[in-house]
């Protein structure tokens, strides 16, 4: 049984792929962050600055910001990159005609996924501090973690018919597929779904939803 389990366990990502994934991931996240911070700027000026940030993220070695971000935070989670990419695309001119006919996201469902992400982050933090009677992080290397995450992401589509990849469930499904194919960023399912910065962002996202609900 142990041999069968190990045979199906997800492997580690390719060492040759990791530097490219780190630059691409941080480039998309940094560009999305600057695009959000510069929302008051004119469209063309903002787009040029966003592209400049993306180009700077491609600079290798000590002169590039990704080198230092990688030392401090390693590679962003796949879900964070997908979320940032969705943010960039939804605010790009080409998205106007592809998204105009689709219904808006359902914040209630996205809020549920945000709560799950926050709870998962706290549990993983307790696991890191060895305060749990089980090793949750180690379970992320098993194939069942990806299966459970995929089924969880598909639940809104099955029961509510949420279209597209703009919903939280759709982004989770896409992140799981990328992880299954490329094993990014570490070969562990939890690292593909959550990272410290995304975890903090989910806290702010829930706080904003709570303030809107008042």
pLDDT confidence bin for 210, thresholds 50/70/90: confident
pLDDT tens digits, one per residue of 105-163: 556 778 889 999 999 999 999 999 989 898 999 989 988 888 889 998 888 877 766 55
Token pair of 193, please?
């779904």
* CB 78 within 8 Å of CB 184: yes
How many CB atoms are located within 10 Å of the residue 199 CB? 18
Burial of 37 (0-12, 13-18, 19+ CB in 10 A): exposed
Query: Taking Cα atoms as reference points, which of 13, 23, 28, 15 lies closest to residue 185?
Result: 13
Angle of the 107-128 helix axis to the 168-182 helix axis, nearest 10: 50
Predicted local confidence at residue 106, as pLDDT: 54
Is 3 a residue whose pLDDT tops 50? no
Angstrom distances, CA of residue 94 to CA of 29, 47, 51, 99, 212 = 19, 12, 15, 9, 29
- What is the separation, in whole angstroms, between the first and last Cα of the chain? 53
Give the contacts of 192 (CB within 8 A, at least 6 positions apart): 77, 78, 79, 175, 176, 178, 179, 184, 185, 186
pLDDT tens digits, one per residue of 49-76: 888 888 898 888 888 899 999 888 889 9
**Whole-angstrom Cα distance, residue 35 to residue 91?**
9
pLDDT tens digits, one per residue of 71-105: 888 899 999 999 999 888 876 655 544 555 455 45
**Whole-angstrom Cα distance, residue 84 to residue 35?**
10
**Whole-angstrom Cα distance, residue 7 to residue 85?**
33
**Whole-angstrom Cα distance, residue 169 to residue 71?**
31
Token pair of 29, please?
């996240």
Q: Cα angle at 32 between 29 and 38, to 5 degrees?
A: 140
């Amino acid at each position: 049984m142990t041999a069968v389990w190990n045979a199906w366990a997800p492997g580690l990502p390719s060492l040759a792929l990791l530097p490219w994934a780190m630059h691409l991931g941080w480039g998309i996240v940094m560009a999305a962050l600057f695009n959000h911070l510069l929302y008051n700027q004119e469209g063309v000026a903002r787009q040029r600055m966003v592209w400049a940030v993306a180009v700077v993220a491609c600079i290798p070695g000590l002169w590039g910001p990704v080198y230092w971000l990688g030392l401090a935070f390693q590679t962003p989670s796949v879900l964070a990159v997908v979320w940032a990419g969705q943010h960039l695309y939804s605010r790009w001119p080409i998205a106007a005609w592809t998204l105009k006919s689709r219904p808006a996201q359902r914040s209630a469902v996205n809020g549920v996924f945000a709560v799950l992400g926050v709870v998962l982050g706290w549990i993983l933090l307790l696991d890191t501090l060895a305060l749990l009677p089980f090793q949750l992080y180690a379970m992320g290397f098993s194939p069942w973690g990806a299966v459970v995450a995929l089924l969880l992401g598909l639940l809104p589509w099955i029961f509510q018919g949420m279209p597209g990849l703009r919903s939280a469930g759709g982004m989770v499904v896409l992140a799981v597929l990328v992880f299954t194919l490329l094993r990014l960023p570490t070969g562990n399912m939890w690292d593909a779904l959550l990272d410290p910065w995304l975890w903090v962002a989910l806290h702010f996202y829930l706080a904003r939803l709570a303030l809107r609900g008042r």
